[in-house]
Chain A
């Protein structure tokens, strides 16, 4: 069928290396390579490239699969799974002081996801000290605030009811986030203790709840449905931060 004299095309060289070439043409290509050293060198360089790729990345296949990727953890309803993971993280956080996650965070390169927490903490620092203008829309206009932020952000923004944790909504504002708008809401207790809730578009669909601290500020943050939530406090103890974050999470859970 084929003719030795038909020149071999570059596409055929690729197909030859990738075992995509019809069997009857392989012999022709091999004969061609024997008499065309430039093409033979190119084919060889592609094979070397494939070896380099495997040498660099194949070890990952033999690594133990991280716990968070275990199928048993993921097979339950994703929401339930996230919730269970969060509960576990919170327990570990209260007992172990969140050291596990911090230790891991210290060695890993900062991801876009972690950068969001930096924005959340910065916004918190900037506005909690404001006495006269901490927010753009006051808590007395709760439904307007929710509608406005939802419209501008593009995801459902709810101002959770945190009276159970002794917190009252001060209000909220729209912020520039790292990849688009972000919502910011502030809560206050009778004693003047302030918590803020920051939401922004997340690079991760859903993650476990994680803890991060910088200076006096600490945050519990997680992603759900492509939105990252960060609950930030200044100087609150772990139990208190956990209580507030849990209340926020529970109400996000109910919203859908």
Chain B
């Protein structure tokens, strides 16, 4: 999209400058949404911002390679892949799981916020990513299919399974609470 909008002249320095700054602006505009997605994906606020930082560094490093297209999808793709790599390297070592989710940034919002975070954490990686990209970030099935490199049908089945799992997880917690009372 960008590439077309600015129709760069290869030899024209000022065009390149305009193009580059437009690219940067569109990357910059995405930072808040990337942080939201990363936080929901990785839970830990520090790790989430590390992911965003790595995403931005990579994107900016590839600035000259970027030949138009959708910056937004591209950034979500980088972040999703970085997180997948991170989890893969984590999976090779034993994990200490926190007994309680006392994430200090839980923003104090009612138990519901923690429930949803816990339900998300219990999803497998691809399902969590699909669910967040569609429901939180508002991407289309087509965009998510491109980000994950799978057919749309796979996106839809992942989404359906993720929704069923989160629903069951939320309802399970609620009935468990009721039973305690």
Contact = CB atoms under 8 A, between A and B. Distances in A.
A10 B160 contact: yes
A11 B61 CA distance: 39
Contact of B57 (A46, A201, A206): A206
A55 B109 contact: yes
**Chain A contact surface mostly:** helix
Contacts, number: 135
A54 interface: yes
A69 B89 contact: no
A228 to B, nearest CB: 12
Given A11-B156, A18-B134, A203 B47 contact: yes
A39 B44 CA distance: 35
Given A11-B160, A46-B163, A74 B92 contact: no
Contacts of A107: 104
A95 interface: no
A140 interface: no
B115 A74 contact: no
Contacts of A204: 50, 53-54
B156 A61 contact: no
Nearest to B163: A46
Interface stretch (B7-15, B31-39, B67-75): B31-39
B17 interface: no
Nearest to A180: B92
Nearest to B115: A52
A53 B136 contact: yes
**Chain B contact surface mostly:** helix
Given A65-B31, A78-B60, A201 B54 contact: no
Interface residues of B, number: 53
Contacts of B53: 68-69, 74, 204-207
A53 B47 CA distance: 19
Contacts of B82: 205
A175 to B, nearest CB: 14
A20 B140 contact: yes
B40 interface: yes
A113 B50 contact: yes
A61 B36 contact: yes
Interface in B14-64: 24, 27-28, 31-33, 35-36, 39-40, 44-47, 49-50, 52-54, 56-58, 60-61
A59 to B, nearest CB: 5
11 contacts: A46-B163, A49-B170, A55-B109, A56-B113, A57-B36, A65-B35, A68-B53, A74-B56, A108-B45, A178-B93, A205-B58
Q: Lowest 5 A-B CB distances belong to which pairs?
A: A56-B113, A205-B54, A61-B32, A60-B36, A71-B28
